[in-house]
Amino acid sequence: MSDVKKDAVKKVATREAYGNALAEFGEAYPDMVVLDADLAAATKTGVFKKKFPERHIDCGIAEANMMGIAAGLSLTGKIPVASTFAMFAAGRAFEQVRNSIGYPHLNVKIGATHAGITVGEDGASHQCNEDIALMRTIPGMTILNPSDAVEARACVKAALDYEGPVYMRFGRAAVPVINDREDYKFEIGKGQVLREGSDVTIVATGILVNSALEAAEKLAAEGVSAEVINICTIKPLDRELIAASARKTGKVVTAEEHSVIGGLGGAVCEALAEVCPVPVCRIGIEDVFGESGSAGALLVKYGLDGEGVYGKVKAFLS
């Protein structure tokens, strides 16, 4: 991480890109209404509020009700984007999302920020490492977990164009921008091979995509050829892409800033067990709660930085 090249990389938090995207698309999507639960400054919906105050609804500290209000708004033709921390969106309001949004399959977008351990100093009470697992169990729920600011913006646009419930996952910490290129294209349900390889497949999501790329670079220096796949859409999962790579390399590693239970690792194992059973190593938060600390220090401690992923892949291969 102390490498000079890395320090030069532009860093933006995905929540920042989320707020900017809401404001950017506000005009093109006049039916969009943004809801928040007293966290507009933190979730960055405040950026939208500044531009479209009449279409920003602060529901106060009442997330369960906010999800229901979003459901009702969608039934009058609005495109509600309900925003709060992942802990409250997926955790506290799980059953409202399940019954008031998922079951009637309403056109509600959920913008969940402060996901994962990089919430940092607030500590375990606010570090949601379970939201992907929770949301995956809801039939018809689409789950997007962007890897950087460019992808976060693309997710917002795709979610607005999609008819149905979408859970978008954003982070608090500034992370490297890795998709800033001309040919970047985003499509719900499609994974992307970011680096081709033949010895092992690293399937990564969210900010762990960058760690996976860093790990692949280090592995390459040692003659290990790692394929890196970015899975932004965790549901529906791009099973074909992952299975094709697994068939080629015969070994799969999953990497996510989420519990190793029920998230990307769970989804990939479920898919591969059915179509291409190969050994899988799941990298993520082990079955533990987090703790206070800076985002960067926590990523290192929990083995989720480039070095950590590199070490785990090496151990898996040996």
Partner 1 sequence: MEILELKQHANDVRKGIVAAVHGAKAGHPGGSLSAADIFTYLYFEEMNIDPKNPKMEDRDRFVLSKGHTAPGLYSALANRGYFPVEDLPTLRHLGSYLQGHPCLQHVPGVDMSSGSLGQGISAAVGMAMGARLSGKDFRVYTLLGDGEIEEGQVWEAAMFAGHRKLDNLVVIVDNNGLQIDGPIDNVCSPNPIDKKFEAFNFHVVNLEDGNDMEQIRAAFAEARSTKGKPTAIIAHTLKGKGVSFMEGSVDWHGKAPNDAEYEIAVADLERLEAQLSGPVQTTPERNGEA
Point out which residues bind partner 1 (CB under 8 A).
Answer: 33, 54-55, 57, 59-60, 62, 64-65, 67-78, 80, 95-96, 99-100, 103-105
In the complex, least distance from residue 234 CB atom to partner 1, rounded to whole angstroms:
25
210's enclosing H/E stretch is helix 208-221
| Start-end of H helices in 104-143 | 131-136
Our CB check for partner 1 shows the closer of 14 and 100 to be 100
Query: What does DSSP say about strands 252-259 and 200-204: parallel, antiparallel, or unpaired?
Result: parallel
State the catalytic residue, choosing from 16, 63, 130, 257: 63
In 250-291 the beta strands, taken as DSSP E runs, fall at 252-259, 280-285
8 Å CB contact between 267 and 273: no
Nearest approach, Cβ of residue 142 and partner 1 (Å): 18
CA distance 119 to 290: 10
Q: Which two tokens stand for residue 194?
A: 């970011």
Query: Is the Cβ of residue 36 or residue 227 nearer to partner 1 in the bound state?
Result: 36
Query: Is 82 within 8 Å of 35 (Cβ atoms)?
Result: yes
Q: Is 240 a catalytic residue?
A: no
- Of the pair 64, 124, the CB lying nearest partner 1 is at 64
CB of residue 101 to partner 1, shortest distance in Å = 10
- Closest separation in Å from C-beta 61 to partner 1: 9
Q: How many CB atoms lie within 10 A of CB 109?
A: 28
Return the number of the residue (96 or 129) whose C-beta is nearest partner 1.
96
Q: How far apart are CA 128 and CA 88, in angstroms?
A: 9
Catalytic residues: 63
